[in-house]
Amino acid sequence: MPAIFRHIICVLFAVTALAGCYGKPVRHLASDAALIKVGESNRNDVLTYLGEPDEQIVLGGGAEKWVYREYEDNIVKKAPLVGKYFGKPDYGTVTLKIEGNVVTECTYGSWESDSRDWEDDFDWQEEKGD
């Protein structure tokens, strides 16, 4: 095989491999929220660590509630037949209360995608007819 073809194959392989590394940015809310210090951190700190919030709610009196959400999922977890062995998709939220320019509350929560499936189980709620 001529050298030019080997070089072309190597370049195509490298481009394909690098393209597989591209993806959208992933949030790591649990670790990023740990950087927020209640009573010390300000708006700029929050924007630096967490970025723009997914939701902003004006509470009044100069207070705001900022909500951040993440959905952690990957191709392996979605794979048929074997995906269930790699875990379920996870959800996470960080809720901040900012009064003036200072964070006064910071709450992190997470759950798995099926953690609320019990809400759809109504068999036990059915009334028995006499």
DSSP secondary structure letters along 23-55: ------HHHHHTT--TTT-BHHHHHHHH-S-SE
Position 23 scores a pLDDT of 56
Cβ 46 vs Cβ 66: under 8 Å: yes
Residue in the structure block whose two tokens are 């924007």: 47
Q: What's the fold here for domain 26-116?
A: Beta-lactamase Inhibitory Protein; Chain:B, domain 1 (3.30.1450)
pTM (2 decimals)?
Answer: 0.61
Q: How many angstroms from the chain centroid is the CA of residue 49?
A: 14
Mean pLDDT, the chain, rounded, equals 78
Give the start-to-end residue ranges of the domains of the chain.
26-116
Cβ 89 vs Cβ 77: under 8 Å: yes
Cβ 99 vs Cβ 62: under 8 Å: yes
Q: pLDDT tens digits for 48-100?
A: 999 999 999 999 888 999 999 987 666 666 666 666 666 666 788 899 999 99
Number of residues in the chain: 130
